[in-house]
Structure 1
Amino acid sequence: MIEHSPKILIIAGMHRSGTSVITQWLHRCNLNIGENLLGADIGNEEGHFEDIDFYRYHEDVLMDNHLSRYGYVKSPVSSLSPYQEEQLKFLTAFKSKMNAQWGWKEPRTCLFLNHYRKLLPNAYYLIVIRDFQSTVNSLIVRDFKYVEAKYLARKLFGRLIWKWFRRDKRKKNLYENLAAYYLNVWITYNNELLKHMELLQNQQFIAVDYKLLNQNDKRTFSVLKDNWEFEIEYVDFGKVFKEKFISKTVDISRFVVDKNLLETACVLEGKLREYV
């Protein structure tokens, strides 16, 4: 009896790049993207659709390396300890044993692409690209939602003070304090995505902009089903994508003092767009 290797899809993209809605879409198309998924919260009302096993693994490795467990870093995870390597081998082997086809999404996967490329040489990749302006805005808006929720939980007087005196100032402060920080993170993640695509065979990946899937979701679906032979069923992406969840974009350039950082992001974004 011939045993066939499982088909594996890795959905890779920066935080707030649309990976959640794309993974939700693939989940509805009948792709197994994990048995235990990270649910919804104030920053992602529809759910994160992240495999908890990979979520915790990435978090643990980052903390073991004294890095932000959220993955807001300026460099990828260059090496794993022997124990961490064995953990990752066991995790992926177990999922492959249990499923003929499977995949996962967890943004910090971008920081581990060198390791996944070696461990899973036959995996397919769905690379999700989003421009740096929209991504940084979305990160800051999410942070602002958490801050605002605390104030709105106060009594009436506290809520009024927030609304009329503190709200706009606090949002501006977040842009001033976080725009460059998150832009650096965007550059780190997307540099890794670009290097990864340059090292893969062309037939191993497809790059998409989630906002464009309303027009070309059938093309992406066709690659997965017809080219890569995943057993999935078509669902209109428009039934999953909700325009109301896209935050208004503010020009972050006025909050970034280092203009070389903006230039680096612009050049990198241009290179990424060549693959979309």
Structure 2
Amino acid sequence: MQSQPVIVCTGFHRSATSTLANYLANAGLDLGEDLVAPHISNVKGHYEDLKAVKLHDEQLKAVGSNWQFHDEVVLDPGPDFLYEYINARSAKSYSWSVKDPRVCLFLEQWEQALGSLGSYVFIVRHWSGCIESLLNRHSRELAYGLMDVTGENLHLKIWAQPDIAAKAWLAYNKRMLKFAKAHPDKVILCTQRALFEGAPIINSINTRFGFELDTNIEPPFDSSLFNDSASTNVKDSLSLALQRQLDSVWEELLNIANFSSANELPAYSFSAEQDEKYYLEYKDKVTKLSVTASVFNKSLLKKEVDISLLSTLDENICIDYLVDLRSQSIDEQSLNKVKVHFNEAVGKVQLELARLLQVNKRFIDAIHVYHKCIALGTNYPYVNMLLGECYQAIEEYELALYYFDKAIAANLKNPTFYVKKAGCLIKLSKPELAENEFLIGIKLLGYLAPLALNYSEFLVQQDKIELALEVLAQSEKTHPAVLSKIAHLKLARDYKSGVSTYYELMAQQVKGKNKFSWLNKITSNISCANAERDFVVRCFKHWAKL
């Protein structure tokens, strides 16, 4: 690794890390080539390198967790997963930065991987403000998407488990606190309020870490995008014991902060009269609706299942078992037991075994089982597509293209097959052929959502945002993903007009939908009265904006 300085920028979700990263980028730091696209929750961009986000998500997924990690499992990987990424970034830029809230969970691994090259900038925000912002973000996604979800859905989980966001804040911030205390010479810690009040972050980075960033640039702060108050429901949904833990960590962070505001007290907003009207209207309407039956939650099943018992069960139960395993974290030993047990199965059971192996990145094993399926007569067109995906994953691109072509030849009307082949051609650095594949699919099938969405993303990568918008405009007018993509692209082009477009599109999406029936079904997953009321009121407020 070359001797090049690196700034690691992190903080808990919704703490203004994106604003800081935007500032660093404007000052001259390379934040990465493939950044997460702007979203209504981050209209000026996230400034997160997708490759770094993926690395962190893979480590979390490996232990059965996600970005809502709250010390529910042990998370202690070695630093090896970072080396290739760090070397690739260093080969392209003399000085660079990586920003991702998930970095908080892997600070020791980054420190081991970077050594003396790493410097760290932490942004911290009072727990009430972070939780408020998360509740606002995820209620908006649910309210406008009118998604049919259970309490395990990451959007709804923060109401189904009202303390999960607070525990996640603790998990992230405890690690920053511990790291900052252990490496005070390598850390600049700034509160969100201090950042927005003009804390001299760029000057401090230059002075303390030896950078030469541009100190004359204007901070990219927009006060209209900043809300620093939290609903009292945020506090009322948490036990006093948990609040004391949160407050204790916050006080310790303030004690070691390099930059903080003169006033770091939390700002709470009390329930308005309109909030009560929303909730009473909800209560009046849902009491007249039938009670939604509880949905059987497969996650409550014991993960340690005696698979030998499945020998006595019918094919459909075996298939359900394997399908369910695909959504769970399964260790190598357990996966090997499943593979051995179902190795002699036939038909769709064998096919689901192959898909389970593929999901768990056992691509060679999956390829063998897929070929066995084909030999035994289970030869649907999408089996060829799945084979193509496996060959692509092990970088056997010519074989991948062969099987994608077989899938297309067997079913010319499946848009996903064209998308997969185009993706493989992109991997082979053949953009012209990839574009041609999208166009062939569109000519045959029209601007179906899978084709339009993936083709538009391809065009965005070619810096052809206007053409991407033209493609999406010809796609399915009410498809949620299409509407969302249009909004995101318009945000990237001009965030102020993009926000207006977003609300227009969301109004179109929810028009004519039975919101009370949807609320009745969704709130059946929420058992805490304060959390239910909070969720309902937030949904009404989102709908009122349309």
TM-score range, shorter chain: 0.7 to 0.9
Scaled by the length of structure 2, the TM-score of the pair is 0.43
| Kept after mapping to 1: 8 A contact 2:68/2:165 | no
| Residue pair 1:72, 1:185 contacting (<8 A) in 2 also | yes
CA–CA distance in 2 between the matches of 1:189 and 1:230? 27
1:128 to 2:112 alignment: no
Name which of 126, 135, 146 aligns with 2:141.
146
Q: Deviations over 1:94-134 (max 9, x none)?
A: 21222211111011111111211211122100011100010
Structure 2 counterpart of 1:215, one-letter code: E
Name the CA distance, whole Å, in 2 between partners of 1:144 and 1:75: 24
Note if 1:206 corresponds to 2:188: yes
> Which of 29, 43, 49 does residue 45 from structure 1 map onto?
43
Distance 1:185 1:198 in 2: 20
The Cα offsets for residues 146-166 of structure 1, whole Å up to 9 and x where unpaired, read as 122225x9xxxxxxxxxxxxx
- Alignment match, 1:73: 70
**Structure number having the greater strand percentage:** 1
Conservation of the 8 A alpha-carbon contact between 2:83 and 2:113 = yes
1:98 aligns with 2:92: yes
Q: In the aligned structure 2, how far is the partner of 1:208 from the partner of 1:270?
A: 13
1:111 aligned to 105, 117, 121, which one?
105
Q: Give, in whole Å, the separation in 2 of the partners of 1:108 and 1:76.
A: 15
- Structure 2 counterpart of 1:73, which letter? H
Amino acid corresponding to residue 49 of structure 2 in structure 1:
D
User: In structure 2, do the counterparts of structure 1 residues 264 and 19 end up closer, same or farther at CA, with 3 Å as the change threshold?
Assistant: same
Amino acid at match of 2:223: E
Give the counterpart of 1:232 among 205, 209, 213: 213
1:219-247 superposed Cα distances (whole Å, 9 cap, x missing partner): 2211112332212112222xx11222223
Deviations 1:196-220 (A, max 9, x none): 11111x2211101122224333x22
Q: 1:71–1:254: structure 2 CA closer, same or farther, 3 Å change rule?
A: closer
Q: Which residue of 2 aligns with 1:275?
A: 256
**Matched pairs, number:** 245
Is 1:75–1:111's contact at 8 Å kept on the other side of the alignment? no
Q: Structure 1 stretch 173-182 or stretch 7-16: which is displaced more?
A: 173-182
The separation in 1 between residues aligned to 2:177 and 2:41, in whole angstroms, is: 27
Matches for 1:179-198 after TM superposition, within 5 Å:
179-198=162-181
Trace 1:148-163 onto structure 2 (pairs within 5 A): 148-150=143-145
What is the CA distance between 1:4 and its match in structure 2?
6.7
- State the AA in 2 paired with 1:198: K
C-alpha contact 1:133 1:249 (8 A) present in aligned 2: yes
Q: In the TM superposition, what is the alpha-carbon distance from 1:8 to its structure 2 partner? A: 0.5
Question: Which digits, 9 at most, give the CA deviation of each residue in 1:153-210, with x for residues without a partner?
Answer: 9xxxxxxxxxxxxxxxxxxx9875454210010011000000111111x221110112
SS of equivalent residue, structure 1 residue 66: coil
CA 1:233/1:77 → structure 2, altered by over 3 Å: closer, same or farther?
farther
Unaligned runs of 5+ in 2: 148-155, 258-546
CA contact (8 A) 2:121 2:187 kept: yes
Partner letter of residue 138 of structure 1?
Answer: S
Over the aligned positions, Cα root-mean-square deviation in angstroms equals: 2.3
Which structure carries more relative contact order (alpha carbon 8 Å, separation 6+)? 1
Q: Structure 1's 176 and 52: CA in aligned 2 closer, same or farther, altered over 3 A?
A: closer
Change (3 A) 1:8 1:77: farther
Query: How does the TM-score come out when normalised to structure 1?
Result: 0.82
Please give the alpha-carbon distance, in whole angstroms, between the structure 2 residues aligned to 1:199 and 1:13: 17
In structure 1, runs of 5+ residues without a counterpart are 154-172
Q: Report the CA distance between 1:61 and its aligned residue.
A: 1.4
Given candidates 56, 60, 63, the residue that maps to 2:61 is 63
Pair 1:244 & 2:220 matched: no
Distance, in Å, in 2 between the alignment partners of 1:76 and 1:54 is: 22
Distance, in Å, in 1 between the alignment partners of 2:27 and 2:74 is 32
